[in-house]
Amino acid sequence: MLLCVGGGIAAYKSCEVARLCGKAGAELRVALTPAAQRFVTALTFQALTGRAASTDLFDAQQELAAGHIALADWAEVAVVAPATADLLARLRAGSADDVVTATLLAVDPSRWLLAPAMNERMWGSPATVENVRVLRERGARLVGPATGEMAERSHTGPGRMSEPPEIVEAIAAALAPRDLAGVPVLVTAGPTREALDPVRFLSNPSSGRMGFALAEAARDRGAQVTLIAGPTEVAPPAGVRCVRIVSAQEMQEAIDDALDGARAVVMAAAVSDQRPAQAAPQKVKKKEGEEVLRLVRTPDILAGLGARYAAGARRPVLVGFAAETEKVEEHAREKLEKKNLDLIVANDVSARDTGFGSGTNRVVVLDRDGGRAELSGSKLAVAHAIWDRVRDRLR
Ligand code: C5P
């Protein structure tokens, strides 16, 4: 990958981007604009990457070592961080007056990943808004900007460069294989809520993150994703069709509506197994003493799909999740068979660094042919590993 550094104060964070990419195994070269070199030095990147950085289009030695066209041909992805207002304007115009713009002009914009960084008023200016729109239309991807405190402390708003780990994740996404191109898939995420009355419900602490990571990974691999999500704090990924539901019954209906043609159904949602037998139409008043709450079963959506598509030719690949606190694999294997699934993803939700609400996960994937794999890492990395297995079963 090629890291192009623009001239903004966020350039110091690009050093960390370079370090993290190297750690993740990327082959990395760096180019700096003249303005970037007033914030960080080529020597910094040379120390981090073990290779000389490109700084001067007219330096005979540099052009001999790695000419800007050779650099453009070589890069699978070109990351611009920070993408300053000036750099965005010059990229839109097609300038080629320094090593960064001259190289990028020879790279297809669909391989650009821009991490904008500027003051919030510069970001909101009509010129920048138009430049960004045009660059997106040409196929460039963006990561960020984030909202928060600016270098000028009194300013806050959108314009901060995304944090390095987020940029690295976006780079990984840009490099994802397009092996699900055009494949319709259905993913569920988050909890359901089962109403007791208009202001109370039964639910669970699912954050939706694992399901959202699955939707994001499928999107990056080219799938047509329908995401059916319960109530979550976290926002769903952009670029997927997201249907919001509240109860298990609504999830069932949304799935029935979206199922037609789906080649895979991945049920990462933590669906409530039971609901109150009756939901009171008005807020229930406090009573003295004990009370008994009568619960009834919600439909087991996934088991319903497993039964409906017993072995039909049009059967989608069915993937379930099993959140367990003990005998994790044993219980998961039972569910795989009982619900007639292709794959089940088992995780131990009693562990602290995995499961509900956490950014990372450690799971065991079991398949109907007896296969078993242990996966761990960020939820996005785990999601990609799950899609690898779904893709193999689609063939
Ligand atoms: O049986 P258990 O609830 O542990 O199974 C979990 C799997 O079944 C998950 O994939 C979940 O999304 C799905 N499920 C469902 N409908 C329910 C309960 C769980 O589809 N009512």
Please check whether residue 378 lies inside any domain of the structure.
Answer: yes
Identify whether residues 87 and 9 lie together within a single domain: yes
The count of structural domains within the chain is 2
The per-residue pLDDT for range 156-185, each reduced to its tens digit, is 888 999 999 999 988 988 888 889 999 999
130 and 195 fall within a common domain: no
Determine which residue's CA is closest to atom 2 belonging to ligand 1. Answer: 322
Dist. CA 250 → ligand 1 center (Å): 14
Instruction: Say whether 107 sits in a helix, a strand or coil.
Output: coil
Residue in 193, 206, 214, 267 to alter for ligand 1 test, most ligand atoms within 8 A of Cβ: 267
Residues with Cβ within 8 Å of residue 382, at least 6 apart in sequence: 210, 213, 361, 363, 375, 376
Considering the domain architecture, whether residues 328 and 206 belong to the same structural domain is answered as yes
Domain presence at residue 179: no
pLDDT digits over 98-143, tens only? 999 999 999 999 899 999 999 999 999 999 999 999 999 988 999 9
The answer on 349 and 290 residing in a single domain is yes
Whether residues 163 and 191 share a domain: the answer is no
Q: What is the CATH number of the domain that holds 38?
A: 3.40.50.1950
What is the three-class DSSP state of 157?
Answer: strand
Q: Last residue of a domain, which of 123, 144, 174?
A: 174
The token duo for 249 is 């019954």
Residues 115 and 227 in one domain: no
Residues 242 and 310 in one domain: yes
**Is residue 133 domain-shared with residue 215, that is, in the same domain?**
no
C-alpha of residue 270 to centroid of ligand 1, in Å: 7
Q: Which two tokens stand for residue 14?
A: 């690009």
pLDDT tens track for 351-370: 766 556 666 788 999 999 99
Same domain flag for 152 and 189: no
Task: Decide: 246 and 230 in contact? Cβ < 8 Å.
Answer: yes
Residues 240 and 151 in one domain: no
170, 192: one domain:
no
Q: Which atom of ligand 1 is nearest to the CA of 335?
A: 1
Q: In 143-218, which ranges are E strands?
A: 146-149, 156-160, 184-189, 194-197, 200-202
Would you say 15 and 28 are in contact if contact means Cβ atoms under 8 Å apart? no
Domain boundary among 137, 152, 174: 174
Q: Are residues 208 and 164 in the same domain?
A: no
Structure tokens at 200: 């109370």
CATH number of the CATH domain containing 376: 3.40.50.10300
pLDDT digits (tens, 9 = 90+) for 277-300: 999 999 999 999 999 999 999 999
CB atoms within 10 A of CB 321: 26
Beta bridge partners of 247: none
Q: Which domain holds residue 344?
A: 184-394
CA–CA separation, 272 vs 245, rounded Å? 13
204 as an active site residue: the answer is: yes
129 within some domain: yes
